[in-house]
Copies of this chain bind each other. A is one copy, B any other.
Protein backbone atom coordinates (compact mmCIF):
# COMPACT_ATOMS: atom_id res chain seq x y z
CA UNK A 1 0.00 0.00 0.00
CA UNK A 2 2.69 2.39 -0.94
CA UNK A 3 3.43 2.73 -4.60
CA UNK A 4 -0.06 1.79 -5.76
CA UNK A 5 -2.78 4.19 -6.86
CA UNK A 6 -0.18 6.27 -8.70
CA UNK A 7 -0.84 7.09 -12.34
CA UNK A 8 1.59 5.56 -14.75
CA UNK A 9 3.29 8.85 -15.67
CA UNK A 10 3.83 9.79 -12.04
CA UNK A 11 5.49 6.49 -11.30
CA UNK A 12 7.94 7.16 -14.05
CA UNK A 13 8.72 10.60 -12.71
CA UNK A 14 9.46 9.10 -9.33
CA UNK A 15 11.92 6.72 -10.93
CA UNK A 16 13.59 9.52 -12.80
CA UNK A 17 13.81 11.56 -9.63
CA UNK A 18 15.49 8.80 -7.67
CA UNK A 19 17.84 8.00 -10.49
CA UNK A 20 18.87 11.62 -10.73
CA UNK A 21 19.39 11.86 -6.99
CA UNK A 22 21.40 8.68 -7.04
CA UNK A 23 23.62 10.21 -9.69
CA UNK A 24 24.11 13.45 -7.77
CA UNK A 25 25.07 11.59 -4.64
CA UNK A 26 27.45 9.35 -6.50
CA UNK A 27 29.34 12.44 -7.62
CA UNK A 28 30.21 13.04 -3.98
CA UNK A 29 31.06 9.46 -3.17
CA UNK A 30 27.84 9.25 -1.23
CA UNK A 31 25.40 6.37 -1.36
CA UNK A 32 21.69 6.65 -1.94
CA UNK A 33 20.67 4.70 1.13
CA UNK A 34 17.22 3.73 2.28
CA UNK A 35 17.07 6.57 4.81
CA UNK A 36 18.00 9.14 2.19
CA UNK A 37 15.53 7.73 -0.29
CA UNK A 38 12.82 8.04 2.34
CA UNK A 39 13.62 11.70 2.89
CA UNK A 40 13.52 12.45 -0.81
CA UNK A 41 10.27 10.53 -1.19
CA UNK A 42 8.54 12.37 1.64
CA UNK A 43 9.67 15.76 0.35
CA UNK A 44 8.61 14.85 -3.15
CA UNK A 45 5.18 13.69 -1.99
CA UNK A 46 4.59 16.74 0.18
CA UNK A 47 4.88 19.26 -2.63
CA UNK A 48 5.67 21.95 -0.08
CA UNK A 49 8.53 22.62 2.32
CA UNK A 50 8.52 20.51 5.48
CA UNK A 51 10.20 20.79 8.86
CA UNK A 52 12.04 17.88 10.38
CA UNK A 53 9.19 17.09 12.79
CA UNK A 54 6.81 17.09 9.85
CA UNK A 55 9.03 14.76 7.91
CA UNK A 56 9.33 12.53 10.93
CA UNK A 57 5.56 12.38 11.34
CA UNK A 58 5.33 10.81 7.87
CA UNK A 59 7.97 8.25 8.70
CA UNK A 60 7.92 7.27 12.33
CA UNK A 61 11.27 5.51 12.30
CA UNK A 62 13.59 8.40 11.61
CA UNK A 63 16.31 9.00 14.18
CA UNK A 64 16.80 12.74 14.39
CA UNK A 65 20.54 12.82 14.09
CA UNK A 66 20.53 10.62 11.02
CA UNK A 67 17.75 12.63 9.45
CA UNK A 68 19.59 15.89 10.01
CA UNK A 69 22.81 14.37 8.78
CA UNK A 70 21.19 13.03 5.65
CA UNK A 71 19.40 16.27 4.95
CA UNK A 72 22.79 17.88 5.16
CA UNK A 73 24.30 15.39 2.73
CA UNK A 74 21.40 15.89 0.34
CA UNK A 75 21.73 19.65 0.61
CA UNK A 76 25.43 19.56 -0.19
CA UNK A 77 24.68 17.33 -3.15
CA UNK A 78 22.24 19.95 -4.40
CA UNK A 79 19.27 17.63 -4.07
CA UNK A 80 17.38 19.59 -1.47
CA UNK A 81 17.25 23.16 -0.24
CA UNK A 82 17.10 24.35 3.35
CA UNK A 83 14.87 27.33 4.04
CA UNK A 84 14.90 29.27 7.28
CA UNK A 85 12.42 31.95 8.18
CA UNK A 86 11.83 33.18 11.71
CA UNK A 87 10.44 30.18 13.48
CA UNK A 88 11.73 27.27 15.45
CA UNK A 89 12.42 24.84 12.66
CA UNK A 90 14.13 24.97 9.31
CA UNK A 91 12.15 23.86 6.26
CA UNK A 92 13.35 21.50 3.56
CA UNK A 93 12.24 21.05 -0.03
CA UNK A 94 13.59 19.44 -3.19
CA UNK A 95 16.07 21.73 -4.93
CA UNK A 96 15.54 23.34 -8.27
CA UNK A 97 16.88 20.79 -10.71
CA UNK A 98 14.30 18.43 -9.23
CA UNK A 99 11.30 20.75 -9.06
CA UNK A 100 10.10 23.77 -11.04
CA UNK A 101 11.28 27.22 -10.03
CA UNK A 102 8.74 28.57 -7.58
CA UNK A 103 8.19 30.79 -4.57
CA UNK A 104 6.34 30.58 -1.28
CA UNK A 105 3.46 31.86 0.72
CA UNK A 106 4.71 31.96 4.30
CA UNK A 107 2.22 32.13 7.16
CA UNK A 108 3.65 34.32 9.89
CA UNK A 109 1.30 32.71 12.38
CA UNK A 110 1.85 28.97 11.98
CA UNK A 111 4.94 29.04 9.78
CA UNK A 112 3.45 26.82 7.06
CA UNK A 113 4.81 27.38 3.58
CA UNK A 114 3.02 26.79 0.33
CA UNK A 115 4.43 26.77 -3.19
CA UNK A 116 3.33 29.33 -5.75
CA UNK A 117 4.38 30.12 -9.31
CA UNK A 118 4.78 33.45 -11.06
CA UNK A 119 4.51 34.28 -14.73
CA UNK A 120 7.68 33.74 -16.66
CA UNK A 121 7.89 37.37 -17.74
CA UNK A 122 7.73 38.63 -14.17
CA UNK A 123 10.48 36.21 -13.24
CA UNK A 124 12.55 37.62 -16.05
CA UNK A 125 12.09 41.19 -14.91
CA UNK A 126 12.91 40.34 -11.35
CA UNK A 127 15.99 38.44 -12.36
CA UNK A 128 17.18 41.25 -14.57
CA UNK A 129 16.59 43.86 -11.90
CA UNK A 130 18.43 41.86 -9.29
CA UNK A 131 21.29 41.05 -11.61
CA UNK A 132 21.72 44.71 -12.39
CA UNK A 133 21.82 45.65 -8.72
CA UNK A 134 24.29 42.86 -8.06
CA UNK A 135 26.63 43.97 -10.81
CA UNK A 136 26.83 47.44 -9.34
CA UNK A 137 28.55 46.10 -6.23
CA UNK A 138 30.45 43.18 -7.69
CA UNK A 139 28.12 40.58 -6.24
CA UNK A 140 28.04 37.18 -7.96
CA UNK A 141 24.40 36.07 -8.17
CA UNK A 142 23.34 32.45 -7.86
CA UNK A 143 19.61 32.40 -7.31
CA UNK A 144 16.83 34.53 -5.88
CA UNK A 145 14.19 33.79 -3.31
CA UNK A 146 10.85 35.51 -3.23
CA UNK A 147 8.27 34.93 -0.53
CA UNK A 148 4.96 36.45 0.36
CA UNK A 149 4.40 36.69 4.09
CA UNK A 150 0.95 36.86 5.60
CA UNK A 151 -1.75 34.69 7.11
CA UNK A 152 -2.80 31.36 5.67
CA UNK A 153 -6.54 30.75 5.29
CA UNK A 154 -6.61 28.54 8.36
CA UNK A 155 -4.86 30.95 10.70
CA UNK A 156 -6.88 33.85 9.36
CA UNK A 157 -10.03 31.91 10.22
CA UNK A 158 -8.76 30.98 13.67
CA UNK A 159 -8.37 34.66 14.46
CA UNK A 160 -12.17 34.84 14.00
B139–A114 CB distance below 8 A: yes
A82–B90 CB distance below 8 A: no
Tell me if A99 is interfacial: C-beta within 8 Å of chain B. no
Tell me if A133 is interfacial: C-beta within 8 Å of chain B. yes
Shortest distance between the CB of A121 and any CB in chain B (Å): 8
| Chain B hits for A151, CB < 8 A | 139-140, 142
B146–A150 CB distance below 8 A: no
Tell me if A134 is interfacial: C-beta within 8 Å of chain B. yes
Tell me if A119 is interfacial: C-beta within 8 Å of chain B. yes
Q: How far is the CA of A88 from the CA of B122 in the complex (A)?
A: 33
- Which of chain A's residues 68-84 have a Cβ closer than 8 Å to chain B? 82-84
B142–A150 CB distance below 8 A: yes
Q: How far is the CA of A130 from the CA of B117 in the complex (A)?
A: 9
Question: A84-B86, A130-B116 are known contacts. Are A139 and B144 too (CB-CB below 8 A)?
Answer: no
Q: Which of B114, B122, B131, B153 contacts A129 (CB 8 A)?
A: B122
Q: How far is the CA of A114 from the CA of B141 in the complex (A)?
A: 13
| Chain B hits for A140, CB < 8 A | 150-153, 156
A141–B148 CB distance below 8 A: yes
Question: A138-B156, A153-B138 are known contacts. Are A130 and B118 too (CB-CB below 8 A)?
Answer: yes
